[in-house]
């Protein structure tokens, strides 16, 4: 049985004092869950989030990473740096980074490898645009992104990769993919992984859904056969709302 993994992506929100207040309110609300809970926070909040989640069941992730270990890359942060302060997860290839910062399938793959070299767990985002969806290219797009992101990884690394299927048209729009639709897309991603890495690996990979997840639709989405939790943007900014999503099965 795959575990449900529910991650909040705060994006560019939350000052350190807000992050601390959030975690204080959020921690008791999710302490009894069997689901994995991750907060992916801005770089400046990482240290505060790590300190304030010590001894709790909440894990901390970053939202991006550079693929080189160190060097003249002004403004960037490496996987080694993230690991050195105790970060465990990192989002890679979010559609906003692909769209605004020229993230490519190639750089995503390099970042995934850098994450594993430093013992960080990558959460790799894939998803089609509205145009691609309307042209019937959803499966082609998401299976290609998945294949290229995972290229050159070992079976055990693939097992430890979290994929987040986030249809771009559903991000921040209030439009959620239907649970059936999202589940079908995720099945296609799993099939692609099975083709390359075999069934045993594919059966273990956590594949989340992201795009306007909220407490009112989490249960329906997460109870499908192949959706293993969610990557939650806007609704993760309020501790009580995000806790309801984490506790969807209570």
* In the complex, residue closest to ligand 13P by CB: 233
Cα 52 from Cα 153, distance rounded (Å): 33
Q: Which is nearer to ligand 13P, 138 or 212 (CB)?
A: 212
- In a 3-state reduction of DSSP, which class is residue 128? coil
Q: Which is nearer to ligand 13P, 46 or 232 (CB)?
A: 232
| Among 235, 229, 247, residue whose Cα is nearest residue 6 | 229
- Size, binding site for ligand 13P by CB under 6 A: 14
28-87 binders of ligand 13P (CB under 6 A): none
| Among 69, 2, 92, 12, residue whose Cα is nearest residue 44 | 12
Taking the complex as a whole, the smallest distance from the CB of residue 234 to ligand 13P amounts, in Å, to 3
Site track for ligand 13P across 217-246, x = CB under 6 A: --------------xxxxx-----------
Which residue matches tokens 């939350």? 14
Q: Which is nearer to ligand 13P, 91 or 205 (CB)?
A: 91
Cα 133 from Cα 179, distance rounded (Å): 16
Q: What is the set of active-site residues?
A: 94, 166
Cα 129 from Cα 156, distance rounded (Å): 30
Cα 112 from Cα 104, distance rounded (Å): 12
| Among 81, 4, 75, residue whose Cα is nearest residue 62 | 81
Taking the complex as a whole, the smallest distance from the CB of residue 93 to ligand 13P amounts, in Å, to 11
Taking the complex as a whole, the smallest distance from the CB of residue 14 to ligand 13P amounts, in Å, to 14
| Among 67, 72, 171, 69, residue whose Cα is nearest residue 111 | 67
CB atoms within 10 A of CB 60: 25
Residue of 46, 120, 213, 218 that binds ligand 13P (CB under 6 A): 213
4-23 binders of ligand 13P (CB under 6 A): 9
Alpha helices in 94-214 (DSSP H): 95-100, 105-117, 130-134, 138-150, 155-159, 179-197, 199-204
Q: Which is nearer to ligand 13P, 176 or 201 (CB)?
A: 176
Taking the complex as a whole, the smallest distance from the CB of residue 71 to ligand 13P amounts, in Å, to 28
Q: Which is nearer to ligand 13P, 123 or 158 (CB)?
A: 123
Cα 158 from Cα 62, distance rounded (Å): 19
Q: Which is nearer to ligand 13P, 81 or 171 (CB)?
A: 171
151-210 binders of ligand 13P (CB under 6 A): 166, 171-172, 210
92-111 binders of ligand 13P (CB under 6 A): 94
Taking the complex as a whole, the smallest distance from the CB of residue 232 to ligand 13P amounts, in Å, to 5
Taking the complex as a whole, the smallest distance from the CB of residue 177 to ligand 13P amounts, in Å, to 11
- Measure the CA angle with vertex 133, ends 218 and 221; round to 5°: 10
Q: Which residues bind to ligand 13P, rule: CB under 6 A?
A: 9, 94, 166, 171-172, 210-213, 231-235
């Amino acid at each position: 049985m795959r575990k449900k993994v529910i991650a909040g992506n705060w994006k560019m929100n939350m000052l350190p004092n807000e992050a601390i207040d959030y975690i204080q309110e959020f921690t008791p609300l999710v302490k009894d869950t069997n689901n994995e809970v991750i907060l992916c926070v801005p770089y400046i909040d990482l240290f505060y989030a790590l300190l304030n989640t010590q001894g709790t069941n909440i894990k901390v992730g970053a939202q991006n990473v550079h693929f080189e270990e160190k060097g003249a890359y002004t403004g960037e942060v490496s996987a080694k740096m993230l690991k050195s302060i105790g970060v465990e997860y990192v989002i890679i290839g979010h559609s906003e980074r692909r769209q605004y910062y020229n993230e490519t399938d190639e750089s995503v793959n390099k970042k995934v490898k850098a994450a594993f070299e430093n013992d960080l767990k990558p959460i790799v985002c894939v998803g089609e645009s509205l145009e691609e969806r309307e042209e019937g290219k959803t499966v082609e797009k998401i299976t290609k992104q998945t294949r290229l992101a995972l290229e050159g990884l070992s079976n055990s690394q693939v097992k430890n990769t979290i994929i987040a299927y986030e249809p771009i048209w559903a991000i921040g729009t209030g439009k959620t993919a239907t649970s059936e639709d999202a589940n079908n897309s995720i099945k296609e991603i799993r099939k692609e992984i099975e083709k390359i890495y075999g069934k045993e690996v594919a059966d273990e990979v956590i594949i989340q859904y992201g795009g306007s997840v909220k407490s009112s639709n989490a249960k329906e989405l997460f109870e499908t056969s192949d959706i293993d939790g969610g990557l939650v943007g806007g609704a993760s900014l309020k501790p009580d709302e995000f806790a309801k999503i984490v506790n969807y099965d209570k």
